[in-house]
Amino acid sequence: MSFANPGPASCTSIKRVSSSRTGFIILGLSFGQSSGATAASFPAAYRYTASALTSDMAWLFGAGFAPLVALALSATFGLMFAGAYLLSGAVCTLIALGINRQLVAHAPARDGNGAEP
């Protein structure tokens, strides 16, 4: 094997690295957006703390157990079930953001300190 003509093992390695980088980029973009999407739900006086707690709880419960559950599903039922589990997390997130948007739209108006005028 030479550097001019890499073998199939090198090509597979490049695909793995590029797919991992793409996944990390998507994860970074979604993580930044999720904190901003929930911040408007809280009064200004508590916005930073509430957003931080919301984000931390989401990572703890949402992302903390996902690798373990996905591994168990793929080992027991196959890779398609692990993919379906991960897809269900994305669907549940979209539903939760839709519910959050509805709650914010129907909430009474508040001033900058969280008190109702």
Task: List, for residues 54-82, the tens digit of each pLDDT value.
Answer: 878 877 877 778 888 888 888 899 888 88
| Phi and psi at residue 46, to the nearest 5° | -115, 5
The H or E element that residue 36 is part of is: helix 8-39
Q: Is residue 39 within 8 Å of residue 47, measured between CB atoms?
A: yes
pTM over 0.85: no
Give the separation between CA 102 and CA 71, rounded to whole angstroms: 35
Q: Is residue 114 within 8 Å of residue 46, measured between CB atoms?
A: yes
| Phi and psi at residue 40, to the nearest 5° | -70, -15
